[in-house]
Amino acid sequence: MGRIQWSGVIFGAFSALLPLATRASAQNAPTVRVVLHDSSGAPGRLLAEASDFVTRVFREAGIEIDGAGNASTCAASVAARAFCVQVLLRPHNPQFEPGKIRTMGMALAADANRAVVSVYRDAVADVARRYGQPVGQVLGIALAHEIGHALLPPPSHSTSGIMRPSWEGDALRHAINGDIAFTDRQAALMRDRLNGRPSIP
């Protein structure tokens, strides 16, 4: 399986643009490591756009995303009891059947220190095309939503915000225009889960 990391220039350049006060605050925030395994062949610009969206949404919830990792560093994080999410970006959902509702992603498994989620690039592209929105932004919504599932206790859907169960025209437009976030309660639950863990190795 091909592997693309949200690291290096993509995340480094984004962090460098932050004001000094914001960066200082970010250093004190709980952190979750995200490792992206891409078997869909997504272009780098699309992944960069998605990673910017995910970073922003989680930062607003008081959580930092560390994308400088791969499978081995995720294993090291788990060994140190730091939380790691492995994202499988797949070309399509192998279980999709015509006529059924299409899902952009799915949380597959989780334990106290690690989670695995899948996101389906064809479903993301279909939603983006249907509502005339940028694919990278819609991918960012799908990724943030599934990582949210990995960090939140069930039931983790809400009637508004990034954890709403379905995405249609107006909700999608508001999200892409920046009017989207985890609820205060969701943000607090995620921070509580991550606080007290050791620093990401």
Q: Is the pLDDT confidence value at 3 over 60?
A: no
Task: Specify if 134 maps to a domain.
Answer: yes
In which domain, by residue range, is 147 found? 8-17+30-189
Task: Specify if 161 maps to a domain.
Answer: yes
Q: Which of 144, 147, 146, 158 is nearest to 186 (CA)?
A: 158
Tens-digit pLDDT profile for residues 109-124? 888 888 999 999 999 9
Instruction: Supply the pTM of this predicted model.
Output: 0.81
24-28, 76-80, 126-130, range with greatest mean pLDDT: 126-130
Tens-digit pLDDT profile for residues 98-109? 666 678 999 888
| Residue 141 near residue 167 (C-beta atoms within 8 A) | yes
The H or E element that residue 34 is part of is strand 31-38
Q: Which of 63, 55, 53 is nearest to 83 (CA)?
A: 63
Task: Specify if 162 maps to a domain.
Answer: yes
- State how beta strands 64-66 and 105-110 pair: unpaired
The H or E element that residue 31 is part of is strand 31-38
For the chain, the average pLDDT equals 79
Task: Specify if 60 maps to a domain.
Answer: yes
Q: What is the pLDDT of residue 109?
A: 82
Task: Specify if 89 maps to a domain.
Answer: yes
Q: Is the pLDDT confidence value at 157 over 50?
A: yes
Q: Which of 17, 34, 113 is nearest to 68 (CA)?
A: 34
Q: Is the pLDDT confidence value at 198 over 70?
A: no
Q: Is the pLDDT confidence value at 63 over 80?
A: yes
Question: In the chain, how many domains are there?
Answer: 1
Task: Specify if 199 maps to a domain.
Answer: no
Task: Specify if 97 maps to a domain.
Answer: yes
Q: Is the pLDDT confidence value at 150 over 60?
A: yes
| CATH classification of the domain holding 93 | 3.40.390
Q: What is the mean pLDDT of residues 191-200?
A: 75
Q: Is the pLDDT confidence value at 133 over 50?
A: yes
Rg of the chain over all Cα atoms, to the nearest angstrom: 16
Task: Specify if 157 maps to a domain.
Answer: yes
